[in-house]
Amino acid sequence: MQTHDPRVSSLALPQGMRDLLPPVASARRAVARVVLDCFTRWGYELVIPPAYEREESVVRGLSPQARANLQRFTDPASADTVVLRPDMTPQIARIAAGRLTSRHAPLRLTYEGSILRAPQGRTRGQRQISQAGIELIGWASRDADLEVISAVLEALTGAGLRGLRLELSHAGATHALLTMLEPSLRPAVVQALSQRDVSWLSETLPDEPIRAAFLLAIASAGGRDRLLQATLHPQLSGPAIEVQEAIAALTARFPDVELLCDLGETRGHGYYTGLSFVVLCDDLGQPLASGGRYDGLLREYGRDEPATGAAIDLEHTFDVLTRQAPSGPSDRILLLGSGASRASIARQLRAHGCAVAEADPMSREHALAALESERFSRVWRCADDHVVDEVSGAVVTMEAAR
């Protein structure tokens, strides 16, 4: 009879957490490096905020829903209530308003790290999410919005992603529509918009002009002809024109990216203040990246300046990459031998840029097992003054190692 071992269950990870093991961890880290290198080329400087902060600081930049899902604990050193960060943008706002307050705008900052959130929907079981993002502070121009979107698209395409779709929206559209309604009706309408519940909106909205405006906003997702109609509507014209101009500019820059719009989008309602976006892909039902303008957030931290930013979900990005282009075994050499000769050859190989792990002599069976398990791409054996490939038996030169 099989008995339960309490030592095994005590080692299980909390729900929604996971380990990344070799070689996946290295491959995922490589994606993060590609993204951060791209952001650096756009002039963004790296900051590394702490994993947790005082609750009173973080909540200034969070929605009521995000505040309700915070992971709180008491700091034993100070007895303060602290929280694990659910978003890095409030931390960047604190840094910009405090430690970097003497820096002149525009301020460009980039970051990479993990956040902790409650699971979102059926498709997101993970609570710890790895992100890399940028924040552009102190520049209210449309060019700033286009810069953030362009940097994100370049980072994703530079990482090797194909088949990207960019969906643009504008907080000004939903704000203009909701101001036509009684305040008591607005929460239900936002919910209906998020669910694209046209029937409920048609039955509930009080008069024909208001119904037509809401239905036109939803219809804008149907193509650029519908967006053109929205540019002529008195409540939607300003946001619709901004989206239209952004699409024109981004089409010229990224001809291989499908560009869409949706003036009825409610994602980030109450947070975004202007142009916002998500990047999608057919291989995944969740956004790879999202962002937008949030001009009100910095004010909560004492620096009243406009801002726009975005974050790339590194977990989603890596998942799509592995589906689009599955990678083979990592290029690592297992070097068998003994003593100083093995160490000397390993040093030479590493000097040529090779990843080399050393091991004492082993049987051919065990050496081939290391290849089959994909732990190593090559197994070489030191033999007197030369190196032999364990599989082919051929003598290996340093040129072959490069």
**What CATH number does domain 24-324 carry, 3.90.228.20, 3.30.930.10, 2.40.50.100, 3.40.605.10?**
3.30.930.10
65's CB contacts (< 8 A; 6+ apart) are none
pLDDT for residue 36: 97
- Triad 291, 163, 155: Cα angle to 5°: 45
Question: pLDDT band at residue 339, thresholds of 50, 70 and 90?
Answer: confident
Q: Say if residue 122's pLDDT is above 60.
A: no
| Axis-axis angle for helices 171-178, 237-253 (nearest 10) | 170
Which three-class secondary structure state does DSSP give residue 358?
Answer: strand
Tell me: the pLDDT tens digits for 364-397? 888 888 887 767 888 999 987 789 998 888 998 7
Question: pLDDT band at residue 358, thresholds of 50, 70 and 90?
Answer: very high
- DSSP, residue by residue, 249-305: HHHHH-TTSEEEE-TT--TTTTT--SEEEEEEETTEEEEEEEEEE-TTTGGGGT---
130's CB contacts (< 8 A; 6+ apart) are 28, 32, 112, 113, 114, 313, 314, 315
Tell me: the pLDDT tens digits for 260-284? 999 999 888 889 999 999 999 987 8
> 10 Å Cβ neighbour count for 237?
14
Ranges for all domains in the chain classified under CATH 3.30.930.10: 24-324
C-alpha torsion angle, residues 120, 44, 112, 149 (rounded to 10): 30
β-pairing, 355-359 vs 332-336, is parallel
Tell me how far apart the alpha carbons of residues 37 and 17 are, in angstroms, rounded to a whole number: 27
76 vs 6, higher pLDDT? 76
Model-level pTM? 0.86
47 vs 332, higher pLDDT? 47
> To the nearest whole percent, how much of the chain has pLDDT over 70?
94
Which three-class secondary structure state does DSSP give residue 38?
Answer: helix
What residues does 357 pair with on adjacent strands? 334
Tell me: the pLDDT tens digits for 359-372? 998 888 888 888 87
pLDDT for residue 165: 96
C-alpha torsion angle, residues 65, 68, 70, 72 (rounded to 10): 160
User: Which residue type does 11 have?
Assistant: L
Tell me how far apart the alpha carbons of residues 227 and 44 are, in angstroms, rounded to a whole number: 33
What residues does 209 pair with on adjacent strands? none
